[in-house]
Structure 1
Amino acid sequence: MEKFCLLLVSLLFLSLLFNGGTARALRNQDGSEEWGYVEVRPKAHMFWWLYRSPYRVEDPAKPWPIILWLQGGPGASGVGIGNFEEVGPLDTNLKPRNSTWLRKADLLFVDNPVGTGYSFVEDTNLFVKTDEEAAKDLTTLLIKIFNRNEKLQKSPLYIVAESYGGKYAVTLGLSALRAIEAGNLKLKLGGVALGDSWISPEDFVFSWGPLLKDLSRLDDNGLQKSNSIAQKIKRQLEGGQFVESTESWSELETVIIRSSSVDFYNFLLDSGSDSTTISAMELGLSKRISMRRYSKYLSSLRGAPGGDGSDLDSLMNGVIKKKLKIIPEDVTWGKQSDLVFTNLEGDFMKPRIKEVDELLAKGVNVTVYNGQVDLICATKGTEAWMKKLKWEGVQNFLGKDRTVIHCGSDLTIKGYYRSYKNLHFYWILGAGHFVPTDQPCVAINMIGAITQSPGPGASS
């Protein structure tokens, strides 16, 4: 009887919240924030949160942009991680962030795919199984948000991704273009930016061993073990064994951790694997450890209790959930959804180079940026997959000289930049996997250049 009453309350809540497939959106008093749910498919609900910039500059020659931030994982929460730990207006202590990307654009965060963060499904069969399915849901979300708001339609949308989010970004870019061409989606696609993105898993796993050997983090024996598993992954991918290749990816990460104790998100740091982690690996739980490593990294840098992100969990399930008012009581926010990852493990190791080629061929501005000391999506691997592009301009791009990047009055070299037509690449020195956190000044100026924003820059 108790379960029936809870179900009835939940259904009543949903009937009040949703109307015609679109959630009732709420906003704060001054209209600078708006959020809500979109029912992207029956019983599949995606949460979004839009911030309007206080730095907005009205310039007809350069319309104020909107950035859609896509987190990685897969299954990591953009509404939580990207927002409060990387580029949003407030940090996890709810203090203003000087390096917020609101200086350059409005920010739209989503918990994608459904089942991530505040997004939820009423039936576990509704989790997405492919990047294309995730892109279709995101396109539906954009249709529901943009088609009803003429002001938003005037701003170009830039899809900016991190890590696995890069695979969502390129598939969404193509899906959104099709919807725009068909007249179903009313927005201007400004471009796609791929930050330390998991575009070609094969190229990344082959980069790990040689890179770590050159850094003295692996010896010849460790290099041989790494390359052997990478070769196995290559054979599995060629044979269409995508789930098996995901298992081998996890095996390779475990071998590298045991051999080098290197941090996958900054190869200058140690992984800090404790006896509990090692025991979990020995028990065959290495994939679960690999899945959760992404969502723990930023919290460990900030010295969160136990390095497990418990402070962000408390914030999102406490003060923020209370503020938002529309999160169902039985939805518990989490940094990383194991179920989302598990349902995508058949797509996890599939490359998305072809989609990048298609975007370039359609004239879409594509920017790639990479942190120098990232390992999981190492620059060495990124450069390798970019050389595989079939886009007609790739050889001219590769032949261009790089331009040095500084920040503000600091004459220290912060990175390098190369551009040809609609393909652009940033090498960000001193940054690991999370560029906006590691090099905030460079990141703000870079995103300003990508979006051609008239907003204020950053100083060193």
Structure 2
Amino acid sequence: MGKSSSLLFLFLYSLLPCLSPFHIELVDAFGTPDGSEEWGYVQVRPKAHVFWWLYRSPQRGDRASKPWPTVLWLQGGPGASGVGIGNFQEIGPLDTDLKPRNSTWLQKADLLFVDNPVGTGYSFVEDKQALVKTDWEAATDLTTLLKKLYNKNGRLQRSPLYIVAESYGGKFAATLGISVAKAIKAGELKLTFGGVALGDSWISPEDFVFSWGPLLLDVSRLDFIGANKSNSLAEKIRQQLATGQYGEATETWSDLERVIISSSNGVDFYNFLLDSKDDPLSTMAVASSNNLVTSKKLAMKKSYSMYLGSKASSSGSLDDLMNGIIKKKLKIIPKDVSWGGQAGDVFEFLVNDFMKPRINEVDELLSLGVNVTIYNGQVDLICATKGTEAWVRKLKWEGMKDFNNLERKPLYCNDDGATRGFVKSYKNLHFYWILGAGHFVPVDQPCIALKMLSYITQSPAAFSP
């Protein structure tokens, strides 16, 4: 039986009722008969339920000299589903047609997808007031989930955990990283912490909005008139942030996106070399996220909060897949819970935290000795490399001077001699520039993304208090 046939057989076989003997150890989790997949719910607070899905890699035995790592993938938005988007559209074992993905990150690590925060994907709240209002509240929920998964499971404890985030997920990763490190130090969490990776992450909204006008002017996507309009609104955002008007800054951010779209004739915020209509990832996200528009106020926010959320496959949309055959496979999703049904509410409740920076949290992670990796796609706009470099320069970590003085090293793939990216590392800070990639690095440049993951998970020192 070929690889494709074997995976399809296992997937269909997993539709049969099953509960492995050791699943009780993982909070009454369900899974496949062979133990390669496990999933379940954790009630993190009254009326707040987080869904998780863990894949064990078939390559686990290939790296016997070091513990096999686990990647916790955090999606952005806020309100975008890691269980759906990160899993089936970016790094999981199967794509949206349920065919094997050649570039799955299971080649390098076990994968833990979590629908974070509550209300995202299959995660749900029984009362809207149980939704989180800050990144720190989301971190507390995730830490609660990790305690319940890890504290009584020796196998998981032996696998170093790497938190890898994309987009707004980077803000969650920064707060979660601190929460995890402190919980380990306090003896409340039994976990080997490998580090945090921030991929095209919304760490400093101010630096990103100030990058948009100059960047698009340099690549001829805006003229001076459009760039001046962009810079003017960015300055308004700076003033609003300085005076603590975070909700108002989110509204101005929406205005700024509208101005850029109009002045650029529809530039794609996830790849500035494209029109949004020419990018299938962006187009499908915008076209099919109308269910998120709970008011006119949220109209411009919907495309970012559900980016990539409903990319079409030959068999239909991601919404159809997740609310159809996948929900049937998982068995435990409540009948009245639809995948992504509360995503708009997730964004709305976080509207006053959306524009808050998390630079200080990254500084704290570095000072705690946690491995911090930053990676960025060359042609991303929403979290442009220009903006990422700007907030990295604001870090006050004691190693920054030495980091800044280092030369970058080139990265290659497939021995073809073509430069695929650059990397700079000093102590526990690592920065990857990924050429030819937009916002979704694993999708745009799967080869170098896998190579980068290998470097990240083989870093010499995991966090220890």
Secondary structure of residue in 2 paired with 1:117: coil
Aligned 1:114-193 pairs, distance under 5 A:
114-193=118-197
Q: Secondary structure at the match of 2:417?
A: strand
In structure 1, list runs of 5 or more residues that go unmatched.
Answer: 1-19, 455-460
Match 1:295 to one of 273, 288, 306: 306
Q: Does residue 311 of structure 1 match 2:317?
A: yes
Taking a change above 3 Å as real, the CA distance of residues 199 and 336 of structure 1, as seen in their structure-2 partners, is farther
Matched AA of 1:167: K
Q: State the SS of the aligned residue for 1:272.
A: helix
* Change in 2 beyond 3 A, CA 1:374/1:336: farther
Moved more, 183-192 or 286-295: 286-295
Asked whether the equivalents of residues 211 and 386 of structure 2 are also in contact (C-alpha less than 8 Å), the reply is yes
Q: How does 1:408-423 map onto structure 2 within 5 Å?
A: 408-423=414-429
Q: Following TM superposition, by how much is the alpha carbon of 1:297 offset from its aligned partner in structure 2, in angstroms?
A: 3.9
Selected match of 1:272 from 269, 274, 277: 277
For structure 1, which segment, 355-364 or 310-319, has the greater mean C-alpha deviation from structure 2 after superposition?
A: 310-319
Deviation at 1:174, TM superposition (A): 0.4
Alignment of 1:84-99 (within 5 A): 84-99=88-103
Paired with 2:169 and 2:231, the residues of 1 have a C-alpha distance of 26
- Answering whether residue 431 of structure 2 is matched by residue 425 of structure 1, we say yes
Deviation at 1:336, TM superposition (A): 7.7
In structure 2, distance between residues paired with 1:399 and 1:304 = 49
1:392 equivalenced with 2:403 (yes/no): no
1:406–1:413 Cα contact (<8 Å) kept:
yes
Secondary structure of 1:128's partner?
coil
Residue 213 of structure 2 contacts residue 231 of structure 2 at CA under 8 Å; is this kept in 1?
yes
| Unaligned segments of structure 2, at least 5 residues | 1-23, 461-465
Measured in 2, the distance between the counterparts of 1:171 and 1:441 equals 29
Q: Quote the Cα distance in structure 2 between the aligned partners of 1:411 and 1:181.
A: 44
The one-letter code sitting in structure 2 at the alignment partner of 1:289 is: M
Q: Which of 342, 345, 350 lines up with 1:344 in the alignment?
A: 350
Instruction: After TM superposition, give the deviation of residue 325 of structure 1 in Å.
Output: 0.5
Give the match for residue 80 of structure 1.
84
Report if the CA contact (8 A) 2:27-2:149 is conserved. no
Task: Give the distance between the partners of 1:322 and 1:304, measured in 2 at CA.
Answer: 20
Query: C-alpha distance in 2, partners of 1:211/1:298?
Result: 27
Letter in 1 for 2:411: I
Q: TM-score, normalised by structure 1?
A: 0.88
- What is the alpha-carbon distance in structure 1 between the residues aligned to residue 459 and residue 84 of structure 2? 25
Partner of 1:447: 453
- Residue pair 2:410, 2:422 contacting (<8 A) in 1 also: yes
2:335 partner letter: E
> How much does 1:335 deviate?
8.2
Q: Which residue in the other structure is 1:222 paired with? A: 226
Q: Contact between 1:295 and 1:335, CA under 8 Å: does it hold in 2? A: no
Indicate if the aligned counterparts of 1:417 and 1:424 stay in contact, CA closer than 8 A.
Answer: yes
**1:13 match:** none
Contact 2:119 2:340 in 1 (8 A): no
Contact persistence 2:119–2:342 (CA under 8 A)? no
In structure 2, the residue corresponding to 1:417 is in which secondary structure? Answer: strand
1:58-111 CA-to-partner distances (Å, cap 9, x unmatched) read 656411000000000001000000000000000000000010000000000000
Alpha-carbon contact 2:442-2:449 (below 8 Å) kept: yes
The yes-or-no answer on 1:31 pairing with 2:47 is no
In the TM superposition, residue 395 of structure 1 has moved relative to its aligned partner by: 1.3
Residue 193 of structure 1 aligns with an amino acid whose one-letter code is A
User: Equivalents in 2 of 1:385, 1:80: separation in Å?
Assistant: 30
- Structure 1 runs, 4 residues or longer, greater than 3 Å off: 58-61, 284-287, 296-300, 302-305
Whether the 8 Å contact between 2:77 and 2:304 is mirrored in structure 1 is: no
**How has the CA–CA distance of structure 1 residues 258 and 152 changed in structure 2, closer, same or farther, with 3 Å as cutoff?**
same
**Whole-angstrom distance in 2 between the partners of 1:214 and 1:303:** 35
Residue type of the alignment partner of 1:371: G
1:311 CA displacement: 1.1
RMSD value, Cα: 2.1
Give 1:267 deviation, angstroms. Answer: 0.2
- Whether the aligned pair in 2 keeps the contact of 1:295 and 1:336 (CA below 8 Å) is no
Q: What's the % identity of the aligned pairs?
A: 67
Q: Return the alpha-carbon distance in structure 2 between the equivalents of residues 57 and 210 of structure 1.
A: 49
Residue identity in the other structure for 2:418: T
Q: Is the 8 A contact 2:96 2:313 kept in 1?
A: no
| Aligned match of 1:15 | none
Deviation at 1:271, TM superposition (A): 1.9
Secondary structure (helix, strand or coil) at the match of 2:90 reads: helix
CA distance in structure 2 between the partners assigned to 1:262 and 1:380 by the alignment: 17
**Structure 2 counterpart of 1:71, from 75, 78, 83:** 75
Partners of 1:35 and 1:290 in 2: CA distance: 30
Aligned-partner Cα distance in 2 for 1:200–1:416: 22
CA distance, structure 2, for counterparts of residue 375 and residue 133 of structure 1: 28
1:458 paired residue number? none
Per-residue CA shift, 1:196-227, capped at 9, x if unaligned? Answer: 00000000000000000001111111011001
Question: Could you say if the C-alpha distance between residues 59 and 50 of structure 1 is closer, same or farther in structure 2, counting changes exceeding 3 Å?
Answer: same
The secondary structure found in structure 1 opposite 2:60 is coil
